[in-house]
Structure 1
Amino acid sequence: MDLKQLRAELRQEHKDILAYWTRYAPDPVHGGFYGRVNYQNQPDPNAEKGIVLNARILWTFSAALRETQHEEYRSIADQAFQYIKTYFVDPEYGGIYWSVDATGKPKNALKHLYGQAFTLYGLSEYVRATKSEPALALAKEVFQNMVKHAYDPKKGGFVEALARDWSPATDYIISKYDNQEIKTMNTHLHILESFTCLYHVWPDKSVAEQMRGMLHMFQIHIIDPTTYRMNLFMDMNWKVRRTAVSYGHDIEASWLLPEAADLLAAKNPADKPLQKAFQHIGVKMARAASTGYDPTDGGMNYELEPDGHLNKERSWWVLAEAMVGFMNAYQLTHEKPFLDKSIKSWEFTKKYLLDRQNGEWYMGVTGDHTIVGKDKISMWKCPYHNSRACLEMLERLDHLHG
């Protein structure tokens, strides 16, 4: 594919994603955004509203406003910020609820670090776009609560979740409390991503220290030094409790980890060796993730399960991250197979994941390209992976060819 054509297609896709969410996500009755909208674009007005969805909407429209300077994206970003500030912030204990009901009343008050991280990510991007002082103040507060209550000063990293009052919790959502899966790759990846975004708007040494600490945890505990795949679930002492090969997370981390190291090095010359180390690690991770790529159709498999079963679902978010991760590896190595995989990930997406009739992307397809899932909008089906992939690709394509 001609890179000029690729650029034009991704620019249009970015606009289309934002247009879909502008039209179908806002809840005109209770405010904020619907917690669920199905493939036929019919909302469930009673669905609970999750912080992950709301924070990712905040991030998406803030990033769009900052990157494109198109003012029409500001109102959705403002709406998302106001809704989170009004309904998701715990007025008694601080921190962010996991979910509220359709009317905005707290439903699950768990302080899940994944939810705190995405709130911080959305707030930080909103500050980048709007210079909002109230949003920056809230972002600092969220960061400080995360470090105060969930950081492990002895072994490093963060615990998975805490109760509303920040006491120990047994409800983990992503991992299994009964199996002592107290530290997870997924939550740590998104905590680092949120700290990186915060560092753009608040380059405080406490944020830099946390970023360095997180990168160190990835180096010594999360990334397997022989396979360059990530361990998924660990206990308090980082002992692996359960794992699989998550191709989507491996390719996503292959560019998010170097991004964090790049920002540290840009602001602190002493971090240049860290930057170099993570560029090397990122390429190794992209090579490892390539084994999940299927050359017959350009799709990326979801997961290799512990029992050896290959989950061939091609998920919307995995394809979005494959586009960016393989492009990042190409930029670092100039090896054309990486560029080919990036372009083919987009071609797969166009062919099988875009809903040409009702807009947005399907949740995924099976190995034989049967559509799976039923929601365009849900607790987890959000506009951030696909809109971010468009923005990242556009920026990288501009960088490649000026």
Structure 2
Amino acid sequence: MSISKNTFKTEVKEEFFSILDFWATHSVDNKNGGFYGTIDGNNEPKETYKSVVATARILWSFSAGINFIKNTPEFIQHQHLIKDYEVLCKRAYDSLKNNFWDEKHQGVYWAVNAKGEKENGKKLMYGHSFYVYGMSEYYRATGYKPALEMAQKCFNTIINHSYDGKEGGYIEAYNEDWSETDDYILSKGISRKSMNTHLHLLECFANLYRIDKSEKVHFHLKHCLEIMLDRIIGEGNTRMTLFFSEDWTPQTKVISYGHDIEASWLVLEAAEILGDEDLIERCKKVCLPIARDSAEGIQADKGMIYEFDPETGHGNFSRDWWVMAEAMVGFYNAYQMSGKSHYLEKSENCWTFINEHLIDHENGEWYGGVNAKHEITNSSKGNPWKAPYHNARACMEIYKRIS
């Protein structure tokens, strides 16, 4: 059953504020500083390790929330939240700077323990990308100069160590002291470059470029975008390859429906932020077919599965919170690009599915995922990979796009 755009817009707005309220209420670690590493399905926080990814995503989400309120005239009644969000942003900033930044070797630790002491010092570009993403958004929202400086410092660290000037793109990970490693958390062995890391580097370079129009940031944003188009998607393809060797030899044929639909709008957004008309046109030609074919992941219940291996028939058939959030935005973006109403319907169906099966309407936030029978398979509300980024962002995107 289709919903009206007005209803869609109102519901995502209310859910956005509900998500941030949940995190403001349940995630703050008053004992150890920063934010709890885990929040279970009953909203109980746990003293587990804290990831740079989740902490930076929290910083991004509250910073984006400030921007959202400031730039939406009809949110006058929400203005009082800006001060609260600023306090939470500063808390996230302090944790990222004092607990996660490696003064000795530069760059950021992958994880700290519950007390905020280094637990895993590995240098993963995936983590660095969110550090830049969060810090740059914080500066955009508040003009807090130290956040811009940390975003630039982390960006330069990525480029100095990870950029592959010979083959193009960015190497996945290193040991704590930037020596070579073959364990990248996302992958191992010869899979030294990944779609996932490049997608999030693209996102962070684009966000940094909004506030730093230097030649260096321009170069790497354009380079990363071209790598996405030329290598990770590839000429004539409508799906992304997930892992590559250093010389871009593909290492797998697994289809990640969630990442494909996420890329279908992030790639175009990056081109628009870059402001390169030729690349914008090229991205439009690529992104619509990606969205079209990612719809193969939608099941009869209107939920989208995570991934599928066409060679073995195995896959992850969970309807995950982040996949559904990105599908909602990706299909709405496809509707805006094409004017075809079936994409709008898919976006609305994603929201209906989220509403019925993933949102905890009683206690707030979304469960991690459900199976084909709609039984909760992952009840976690917050963990090292789960923060208010995919879902809060999706709500903001839909609201702004309908507006």
TM-score tier (shorter): over 0.9
Q: Is 2:297 the partner of 1:304?
A: no
Q: Which moved more, 1:64-73 or 1:186-195?
A: 64-73
TM-superposed CA distance for 1:370, in Å, is 1.0
Q: Indicate the SS of the match to 1:40.
A: coil
| Contact kept in structure 2, 1:320 and 1:389, CA below 8 Å | yes
Q: How many residues align?
A: 389
| Contact kept in structure 2, 1:39 and 1:358, CA below 8 Å | no
Q: Is 2:93 the partner of 1:81?
A: yes
Alignment partner of 2:129 out of 111, 117, 125: 117
Match in the other structure for 1:56: 57
CA offsets 1:271-315 (integer angstroms, 9 cap, x no match): 211110001111011011011112x32211111124123432100
Q: Is 2:260 the partner of 1:257?
A: no
Partner letter of residue 48 of structure 1? Y
Percent identity, aligned pairs only, is 41
CA offsets 1:122-160 (integer angstroms, 9 cap, x no match): 001001001111111111110111001000000110000
Q: Which moved more, 1:252-261 or 1:352-361?
A: 352-361
Q: Is 2:25 the partner of 1:23?
A: yes
Partner letter of residue 57 of structure 2? R
CA offsets 1:210-250 (integer angstroms, 9 cap, x no match): 11111211122111434410000000000011230000000
| Contact kept in structure 2, 1:38 and 1:375, CA below 8 Å | yes
Alpha-carbon distance in structure 2 between the residues aligned to 1:247 and 1:314: 11
Partner letter of residue 37 of structure 1? I
Q: For 1:383-402, list aligned pairs within 5 A.
A: 383-398=388-403
Alignment partner of 1:170 out of 182, 186, 196: 182
Q: For 1:233-252, list aligned pairs within 5 A.
A: 233-252=243-262
CA offsets 1:93-117 (integer angstroms, 9 cap, x no match): 1111100011111000011000000
Match in the other structure for 2:107: 95
TM-superposed CA distance for 1:325, in Å, is 0.3
Q: For 1:143-162, list aligned pairs within 5 A.
A: 143-162=155-174
Alpha-carbon distance in structure 2 between the residues aligned to 1:38 and 1:13: 19
Alpha-carbon distance in structure 1 between the residues aligned to 2:277 and 2:363: 47
| Contact kept in structure 1, 2:322 and 2:390, CA below 8 Å | yes
| Contact kept in structure 2, 1:227 and 1:288, CA below 8 Å | no
Q: Indicate the SS of the match to 1:121.
A: helix
Alpha-carbon distance in structure 2 between the residues aligned to 1:215 and 1:200: 15
Q: Indicate the SS of the match to 1:201.
A: coil
TM-superposed CA distance for 1:91, in Å, is 1.0
Partner letter of residue 302 of structure 1? Y
Where does structure 2 lack aligned partners over 5 or more consecutive residues?
A: 71-78
| Contact kept in structure 1, 2:318 and 2:370, CA below 8 Å | yes
Alpha-carbon distance in structure 1 between the residues aligned to 2:62 and 2:360: 21
Alignment partner of 1:330 out of 335, 338, 349: 335
Match in the other structure for 1:339: 344
TM (norm. structure 2) is: 0.95
Alpha-carbon distance in structure 1 between the residues aligned to 2:270 and 2:281: 12
| Contact kept in structure 1, 2:34 and 2:95, CA below 8 Å | yes
TM-superposed CA distance for 1:343, in Å, is 0.5
Alpha-carbon distance in structure 2 between the residues aligned to 1:381 and 1:206: 31
Q: Which moved more, 1:148-157 or 1:355-364?
A: 355-364
TM-superposed CA distance for 1:169, in Å, is 1.9
Alpha-carbon distance in structure 2 between the residues aligned to 1:192 and 1:159: 14
Match in the other structure for 2:76: none
Across the aligned residues of Structure 1 and Structure 2, the Cα RMSD in angstroms comes to: 1.0
Match in the other structure for 1:216: 226
Match in the other structure for 1:198: 208
Where does structure 1 lack aligned partners over 5 or more consecutive residues?
A: 266-270
Alpha-carbon distance in structure 2 between the residues aligned to 1:97 and 1:371: 32
Partner letter of residue 218 of structure 2? A
Match in the other structure for 1:34: 36
Q: Indicate the SS of the match to 1:377.
A: coil
| Contact kept in structure 1, 2:369 and 2:379, CA below 8 Å | no
Partner letter of residue 61 of structure 2? T
